[in-house]
Amino acid sequence: MEILTTHGIEKQFANHKALDDVSISVPEGSIYGLLGPNGAGKTTLIRIINQITGPDKGEVTYKGRPMKADDIYSIGYLPEERGLYKKMKVGEHALYLARLKGLSRSEALKRLKFWFEKMEIQGWWDKKIEELSKGMAQKIQFVVTVIHEPKLLIFDEPFSGFDPINANLIKNEILELKKNGATILFSTHNMGSVEEMCDHITLINKSKNILSGPIEKIRQDYGSNVFQFKLKGDIEKVKENLTPSYELISHTQDTDIVSAQIKVHEYSNDNKLLSLIIPSAEILGFSQVVPSMNDIFIQVVQEYNKAHGLK
């Protein structure tokens, strides 16, 4: 079941079309990555979903019905541009924002105590926001985003400004939130995080959705015609047995074990390739070389821009 969908969303700002017929479907309980170059339209879509601005055309649905104003209480939103009142104390500010999410004072204090201990920020309670580094302030905003235990969490560049240790901390917290039943939609430029965390992605480029689907299917669809083999035997004999449809493009040898990459020029099936190798070597393992999401991101954007005469 989809917890969130957008249908044919369009948004124009003066002479700039920020979104052009963008539709996404976010399965409940998933982590959904919203990808795209700077200025592609990701943040505009997130703002429309959060009802900060409205679409010129199209519809947002939540749990199978048109989104309503009070659905915002079921959503946690962490914007890319952080917004904390610099002169307020951390604890006072966190309590204020937690109360805005509908929590009683006693419940808000209880949950804040839990999260401050979990994030190891208990000593920040009486500090002023202006005393915090960017990363420290982002930790506070992460806490107040999740404090009311929303069913849908939307993070716009959640790892921006974090050092590797704290970025990993936030990543693990997001995975834990998913494990506890939350659905997460986030935009990011960090392709490593996409591969580690996401179940589904949408790639927006020049205001259009140009690629969507389960991440593993996308990686398989864009897989190269290169296979990695681990062999025991004579690599030269293997090479001699290959027909013109197959090419040994690289190999390394460690004692009698060979790691080899074979490119398929005219694909038929895996059994054909295996039958050419078996007479000369023992196959210890083989797999298709699957491209990274970073490679796919670059390839799809470049192909789209070239096909549409865009830079």
177-194 pLDDT tens trace: 999 999 999 998 888 889
**Is 90 exceeded by the pLDDT of residue 288?**
no
Closest to 63 in 3D by CA, of 75, 46, 76, 53? 75
E strands, 174-290, in order:
183-187, 200-205, 208-214, 226-233, 246-254, 257-264, 281-288
Which pLDDT score, from 0 to 100, does residue 255 have?
Answer: 83
156, 79 in Cβ contact below 8 A? yes
Asked if 131 and 12 sit in the same domain, the reply is yes
Residues 123 and 244 both lie in one domain: no
Structure pTM?
0.86
Enumerate residues 6+ apart whose C-beta is below 8 A from 174. Answer: 31, 153, 155, 158, 184, 186, 197
Find the CATH number of the domain harbouring 16. 3.40.50.300
Question: What's the rounded mean pLDDT across residues 102-122?
Answer: 95
17 and 74, same domain (yes or no): yes
Q: Tell me, what's the pLDDT at 271? A: 86
Is pLDDT above 90 for 81? no
Domain assignment present for residue 28? The answer is yes
Residues in CB range of 17: below 8 A, 6 or more apart: 10, 11, 207
Burial per residue of 289-310, b for 16 or more beta-carbon CB atoms within 10 angstroms, e otherwise: eebebeebbeebbeebeeeeee
- Radius of gyration, CA atoms only, the chain: 25
Q: Band of the pLDDT at 131, cuts 50, 70, 90?
A: very high
Backbone dihedral region of 12: left (phi > 0), alpha (psi from -120 to 50 degrees) or beta?
beta
The mean pLDDT value for 52-65 works out to 96
Same domain, yes or no: 212 and 109: yes
Question: What are the pLDDT digits (tens) for 226-270?
Answer: 899 999 998 999 999 999 999 999 999 988 899 999 999 886 677
Q: How many Cα atoms occupy the beta-carbon half-sphere of 126 within 13 Å? A: 1
Task: Please list, in sequence order, all residues whose beta carbon lies within 8 angstroms of the beta carbon of residue 261, skipping any fewer than 6 positions away.
Answer: 226, 227, 228, 229, 248, 249, 250, 251, 289
User: What's the average model confidence in pLDDT over 136-156?
Assistant: 94
Domain contains 307? no
Q: Does residue 306 lie in a domain region?
A: no
180 in a structural domain: yes
In this predicted structure, the answer to whether residue 134 has a pLDDT above a threshold of 90 is no
Cβ burial 198-237 (10 Å sphere, 16+ → b, else e): bbbbbbbbbbbbbbbeebeebbeebeeebbebebebebee
Alpha-carbon distance of 125 to 130, in angstroms, equals 13
Residues 150 and 129 in one domain: yes
When divided into structural domains, the chain yields a total of 2
Domain co-membership, 174 together with 234? no
254 and 146 co-located in one domain: no
What token pair was written down for 180? 């506890």
Q: Tell me, yes or no, whether 90 and 18 share the same domain.
A: yes
Mean pLDDT of 129-133: 91
pLDDT at 214: 96
> How does the average pLDDT of the chain come out, rounded?
93
Mean pLDDT of 11-26: 96
Average pLDDT over residues 43-56: 96
Beta bridge partners of 123: none
Q: How far apart are CA 269 and CA 281, in angstroms?
A: 19
User: For 72-91, what is the mean pLDDT?
Assistant: 90
Are 154 and 233 found together in one domain? Answer: no
72, part of any domain:
yes
The pLDDT assigned to 268 comes to: 66
User: Looking at residue 60, what DSSP letter applies?
Assistant: E
Indicate if 237 and 205 belong to the same structural domain: no
Range of the domain at 276: 224-288
Q: What proportion of the chain, given as a percentage, has pLDDT over 90?
A: 76
